[in-house]
Structure 1
């Protein structure tokens, strides 16, 4: 695993978001470092997807500070997030079933040569990227509709890497996958960490969380309700924080050297 820098890539301080009369997030704090996987967990309606949308620029925060590599930034739209180096893979994947793997990876960023699509170069880059990520898809020209769920998820994650992001947000990447396909995706998350990418992983599956995450951040009713080191916290502690059965979850988080207790 890549050593974690003391300076976070991404920091949220006092982030709040409301939709009409509904307060979705209240004073949320979060740090994400390079080469770190932070699992964002919580019950339905806890605010996890809203927080991802805030970071991705889809639903900008109403209040609070977002810091990127130690400096305050404004993320008002998805373009702002992309420009910083933040990529998002949503649960619906946003793949075009009728296009092949190459076509999906380069959708919207096609390579042209003398005014014509350079299919050879796009396929070469696709093979190179998948090879570096240890992803095996026999036929890159097969429509993605013919791929397994795990393969489709890896295609969506691989596409997010074309712009060379420093942070990748993954919204329930294993939610509809079987055991073997889940293993494939979790291996890919390990690969992202090894490449020095910060990963924010939304998941309901505690097995997946314990398998790949370094830290767990719990949201409950739109607020922070605990930060846990995966190596030292029990699954019972984390679940208690998710359900609200304990009120001292935040205090059990041990900060890294140079890190301020939230």
Structure 2
């Protein structure tokens, strides 16, 4: 973030209730190009609700969302994708019976040029080349481009899901607990992938319960508690104790 820079994505006063439960209570949020922001909070803090709202999967009761300084209406995931906002949820949303290339281009298939394309034939070679490039750019090791992803390891599926999101994202990638249930080596690869994505100029929102990972990879940390943003920290200037204190209410307000 530089002085005067405009956030690539900003939320102002987002509110959403489910019956008598207020999941978001006038929440503010911002992230800048080429920045990793960790979004943390205890269960029920509002993280998932905020991510769904910012990725077009949930309607709001009130508040506004801005993309690159202009107000936008994110009324669907398609609207978010058209702006270059992509999300990798914990379940990865991969089709297990399809291979990595088919998953990469699912819903975005490339037709062949000429008459063949008009008859519905796909350019499988071009999609395979672009998929391999996307995996290579992120240092992702994908065992096979032709085998179904359902038979691959959790780390490989995670890499495919992240590479797919990054390949289509022009602005922001949301990563919801990307290191959950991964081994040490796979976790290291995911954290390195996050850095590579940031270095490409894409903003990364990293949702995690792992405070060591948060401090290791994030530039800033925004803390939610009971549906409100209660603190924002520079990751290099905070500690696990301070973050946990903000999450639990022991620290009333963090430094901006």
Alignment TM-score, normalising by the size of structure 1: 0.91
1:97 aligns with 2:96: yes
- Per the alignment, residue 36 of structure 2 pairs with 37
Q: Deviations over 1:68-121 (max 9, x none)?
A: 111211111112211221111111101111111111111111122113122211
Q: Which secondary structure state, in structure 2, belongs to the residue aligned with residue 161 of structure 1?
A: helix
- Per the alignment, residue 77 of structure 1 pairs with 76
Runs of 4 or more above 3 Å deviation: 2-5
Gaps of 5+ in 2: none
Q: Distance in 2 between matches of 1:164 and 1:235?
A: 30
8 Å CA contact 2:142, 2:160 repeated in 1: no
C-alpha change, 1:151 and 1:4, in structure 2 (3 Å) is: farther
8 Å CA contact 1:86, 1:167 repeated in 2: yes
Paired residue total:
250
1:144 equivalent among 146, 149, 156: 149
Gaps of 5+ in 1: 254-262
Alignment TM-score, normalising by the size of structure 2: 0.93
Q: Distance in 2 between matches of 1:57 and 1:182?
A: 28
Q: Distance in 1 between matches of 2:177 and 2:30?
A: 19
Q: Which secondary structure state, in structure 1, belongs to the residue aligned with residue 216 of structure 2?
A: helix
1:26 aligns with 2:31: no
Deviates further, 154-163 or 46-55: 154-163
Q: Distance in 1 between matches of 2:3 and 2:207?
A: 20
Alignment of 1:101-140 (within 5 A): 101-113=100-112, 114=116, 115-140=120-145
Alignment of 1:174-213 (within 5 A): 174-213=179-218
Shift of 1:3: 6.5
